[in-house]
A and B are shown apart, each in its own frame.
Chain A
Amino acid sequence: MIKITEEDFSLDEMIKRARSKDAGAIVTFLGIVRDDGMERMEVEAFREAALVELEAIRDEAMSRFHLMAAEVVHRTGTLAVGESIVAIVCSAAHREEAFSGCRYIIEELKKRAPLWKKELGEKGERWVGRT
């Protein structure tokens, strides 16, 4: 499942969907809002384009690393420190493929998916990554 949502998600449900009798390993990545001296974060997506890109990344990871399942959920909207931003779950026959697939998806997501984060706090606000 590839999803961009304002609502929180259940990592357990994602893991449940990734389980299969042939999968000997499930690797998960959970990205959360870190306290960098801010109060909250706003996440924005070019939703239609981001979904297409995430699906392409998922498909690449599935075939490169022989994954049995791969799920990606990315939040949008206002998130507090400690809340989840993104979750990735990959299952494969063995742990090497599951680790590699999960890492590939998060690294490519950061490079290619049209998503942006804004940090907001007492000192003001700033878009992450803007020079």
Chain B
Amino acid sequence: MLVKVLAFAGFREILGKERELEIKEAATVKELLEELAQVSPRFKEAAFDDSGELRDYVLLMVNRKRIDPILDLSRPLQEGDELAIFPPLAGG
């Protein structure tokens, strides 16, 4: 199935602003992030620590709603879902 990945700030510089990815049916948020880490070693280094855990400054939205980067990582995605990846907010 096809999902969209949006990246902002430092993650945009690594991944590009927007890309579509073909992933297996019902893949989880974590599986999608791992897929991105495989495609981009720079993303792997920026987003995951040495033990493979997501770094705590990685923030996520699915379909423009914030998700918990710990509790919701096992959430299955659906065709057409949009995952946004970004660092801590710094507006204003």
Contact = CB atoms under 8 A, between A and B. Distances in A.
Contacts of B84: 46, 49, 114
A130 interface: yes
Contacts of A31: 92
23 contacts: A44-B8, A48-B64, A49-B61, A49-B64, A50-B91, A52-B64, A74-B92, A86-B91, A106-B92, A109-B91, A110-B90, A110-B91, A110-B92, A113-B89, A113-B92, A114-B8, A114-B61, A115-B89, A115-B91, A116-B87, A116-B90, A127-B90, A129-B87
Contact of B89 (A86, A118, A129, A131): A129
Contacts of B52: none
A60 to B, nearest CB: 16
Interface size class of B (residues with CB under 8 A): 10 to 19
Nearest to B56: A131
A106 B92 CA distance: 7
A114 B86 contact: yes
B91 A117 contact: yes
Interface of A: 31, 43-46, 48-50, 52, 74, 85-86, 106, 109-118, 127-131
Contacts of A115: 89-92
